[in-house]
Structure 1
Amino acid sequence: MAEQKVQTMEDFALASGISRPTVSKYFNDPDSVRSSTRQRIEAALAKFNYTPNLFAVNQNRKQTRNIGVIVPYLADPFFAEMARLIERRCIDAGYWPILFSSHGQRQMEINALETLRSLRPAGALIAPLGRASDLEVMRKFAEDVPTVAFDSNQDIGDAFVGSDNFQSIALIVDYLCRTGEPPCFFEMPPVNPNAMKRRAAYIQAMERAGQTPEIIRVGGQSWEFEAMGLEEGKRLIAERKLPTNTVLCSNDRIAIGLLAAAYQSGLRVGRGEGCALRIAGHDDHPWAQFTCPPLTTVSQNYSAIVERSVEKLFDLMSSGVKSESREEILFDGQLILRSSA
């Protein structure tokens, strides 16, 4: 029997002399079988050098251990960091995260939802594209699969977890107004609800401070925010069209591009003597502390957003009951002071 070729769980059960249901029970949960049986199975695993196809085992369960994760643009380090934290949290809880990127495209997001549905996930964590999303398709998916939305607050799923843009933008506008010229607002294309909320929050905070809002709009629907910040920043600097020497960018990726534009234009950025511009951002992008100068920003609470999103999803999965009303959970941002503003 030692030379018997063992390829399937049925082969393994036959070769080891242990019933197929018992073997299956062991692979679902080793602690669910008696200690003596577990020792026999583990000895047989070593003897026959057998490794089960755990994906097939998972798919044959009434409820799989798959957790779907969809983000808009995995090349964005913000979403890469969120995905990393979600993956770690799911693995620690005994689930298999399956990650998709929508690549900023409507059809890719639809394809991801369809592929994920075929994998029979136990639940899903989705950061929707936003304006480009097909909400009808997303809502149909969420009717069948416990779903929590994060980052982009589209009306899908049983709950949304994200940042309070009105709190965080007000926090940094107040700081910038107190420490120098009031900021103009260099905004990203309105690809998702965050962009529009941050613009509204900026206007509200400036008016509350008795200042006149000045908004600089970047065109297009691309997710290449650094390139937009660079090219539009160089143009504005060359044409002397910045209305103030303080610029609040709607996200850190645009701010990183604007920092490069200032450098290429020969302008020094920062708070000290001889500085021509102050530049600030939003998100506390993973690279924000490594720019030159390091970027002043307002952070999103990555770990809290991920923890609450996963916790909420697990609650939905275990209860099997959809919420009567969609819950919105928002976390405050924290001002991160660095050298750029």
Structure 2
Amino acid sequence: MQKMRTMEELSVACGISRPTLSKYFHNPASVRTSTRARIEDALSVFDYRPNLFAINQNRERPKTIGIVVPQMTDPFYAELVREIELRCIDAGFWPIVLSSHGSPDLEARALGTLRSLRLAGAILALLGNEARDDAVSRLAETIPIVLLDSRRDTELPFVGTDNAHSIALIVEYLHRSGEHPCFLEMPSVNANAEERREGYRRAMEEVGAEPILLAPSTHGWDFEEIGYRSAEAVMNDGGFPTRTVLCANDRLAIGVLAAACARNVRVGVEEGCQLRVAGHDDHPMARYTCPPLTTVAQNFEQLAAQSLDLLLARVEGPERPGGERIQERRLKGSLVLRRSA
């Protein structure tokens, strides 16, 4: 098979004009059936692969979507990205995924990289309170944007979980099924931290119990380590104030489970257990902890589907980017009962 390095070489070899070849690679259905057959016959003879990036850059309407998340190593975001990527491909778009690795500077660079590309739009799961609004605003001036997972104080469309509903759901269950929960907060890295803390306060008032807030040991995104160190400090100081611990996210809860195991503190609902532990998110690893973690599940499929649907409605709609009515979609969580609580 003869290697063709450029579209010009392929054009000479197969006798089809370069503009027609370019039109075919943009959209095979846009050329006549007989011409398409000739091109596909040529591709079976000659080894040629178009530069899809260059093709996208030259499109009148680009077919690339940017995705930015705080941590690609976090299975929560990895699962969200997987769902969005598959839906982008099904919709005929090419996803480009960047991670900020928990760094505001790297997040700003990632947003700058997206500005340098020809994109149809972007889905951003931002760092939250540390995100640089100027970098977000500059990107929003050029392409449609949808925010995912954590709400910013901005007039951009948003898709996330209804934290007030989901926290109330698990507080009511824990209160009804045993001793009412104290609450291990997550560091204030994004709006979810505040929303879940306030959701816990309101839910405890609803069940007639006094809120008991436990501050995290430190700031940052290393939630398992923070959960472990926070639980260790509490147990060194006499133990948890109640025998039920609700953690603001599952990664904190995983750290608490590890700290309890290190102290030979039995966690679960069986006779002889000394502590119940619950979380929030239904992290992909939550079912494999020991014991498996009771939690509130966020709907990964719908978070991905609705964020992309909202973005494509802006990309393909008649209005100019940024001129649409503000939209916010909050999805309900669902209680997942396992042996930890």
Matched residue, 2:22: 24
Q: Secondary structure at the match of 1:210?
A: coil
SS in 1 for 2:330: strand
Alignment match, 2:335:
335
Say yes or no: does 1:197 pair with 2:207.
Answer: no
Classify the secondary structure of the residue corresponding to 1:230: helix
Q: Is the partner of 2:95 in helix, strand or coil?
A: strand
1:155 and 1:200 map into 2 onto residues whose CA distance is 17
* Partner in structure 2 of residue 182 of structure 1: 180
CA distance in 1, matches of 2:265, 2:163: 30
How far 1:250 moved relative to its partner? 0.1
Shift of 1:241: 3.6
Conserved 8 A contact 1:300-1:334: yes
For 1:235 and 1:158, locate their aligned partners in 2 and report how far apart those are by CA, in whole Å.
40
| AA of the residue aligned to 1:337 | L
| Distance of 1:157 and 1:59 partners within structure 2 | 28
How far off its partner does 1:320 sit? 4.7
Which residue does the alignment assign to 1:315?
Answer: 313
Structure 2 matches for 1:151-166, cutoff 5 A? 151-156=149-154, 158-166=156-164
Q: Any conservation in 2 of the 1:128–1:149 contact (CA below 8 Å)?
A: yes
* Cα distance in 1, alignment partners of residues 306 and 169 from structure 2: 23
CA contact (8 A) 2:217 2:230 kept: no
Query: Following the alignment from structure 2 to structure 1, what is the Cα–Cα distance between the partners of residues 217 and 232?
Result: 15
- Report the CA distance between 1:196 and its aligned residue: 0.4
- For normalisation by structure 1, the TM-score amounts to 0.96
After superposition, the Cα gap between the structure-2 partners of 1:14 and 1:307, relative to the gap in structure 1 and judged at 3 Å, is same
Alignment deviations for residues 186-229 of structure 1 (CA, whole Å, 9 cap, x no partner): 01101000000000000011011110000001143311100111
Distance 2:173 2:142 in 1: 45
Q: State the TM-score, normalizing by the size of structure 2.
A: 0.96
SS in 2 for 1:319: coil
Which stretch of the first structure deviates more once superposed, 28-37 or 82-91?
28-37
Query: Which residues of structure 1 form unaligned runs of 5+?
Result: none
CA distances 1:303-339 after superposition (whole Å, capped 9, x unpaired): 1111110001011000152344321100100000000
Q: Note the C-alpha offset of 1:157.
A: 6.0
Matches within 5 A, 1:67-216: 67-156=65-154, 158-216=156-214
Matched, 1:12 2:15: no
Residue 304 of structure 2 aligns to a residue whose secondary structure is helix
Question: Which amino acid is the alignment partner of residue 339 of structure 1?
Answer: R
Mean Cα displacement is larger for which, 86-95 or 135-144? 135-144
8-17 or 78-87, larger mean C-alpha shift = 8-17
Between the aligned partners of 2:143 and 2:219, the Cα distance in structure 1 is 30
Is 2:157–2:328's contact at 8 Å kept on the other side of the alignment?
yes
Bigger mean CA deviation after superposition, 9-18 or 244-253: 9-18
How many pairs align? 339
Amino acid at match of 2:132: D
Aligned to 2:31: 33
The 3-state SS of whatever aligns with 1:144 is coil
Q: In structure 1, how many angstroms separate the alpha carbons of the residues matched to 2:280 and 2:216?
A: 16
Amino acid paired to 2:158: F
Which one is further off, 68-77 or 43-52?
43-52
Aligned CA RMSD, in angstroms, stands at 1.4
Show structure 2 runs of 5+ residues with no match: none
Three-state SS of the structure 2 residue aligned to 1:279 is strand
**Take 1:93 and 1:337, find their aligned partners in 2: how far apart are those partners?**
35
Deviation at 1:156, TM superposition (A): 4.2
The structure 1 segments of at least 4 consecutive aligned residues displaced by more than 2 Å after TM superposition are 155-158, 322-325
Q: Does the 8 Å CA contact 2:245/2:276 hold for their aligned counterparts? A: yes
Greater shift, 34-43 or 151-160, is seen at: 151-160
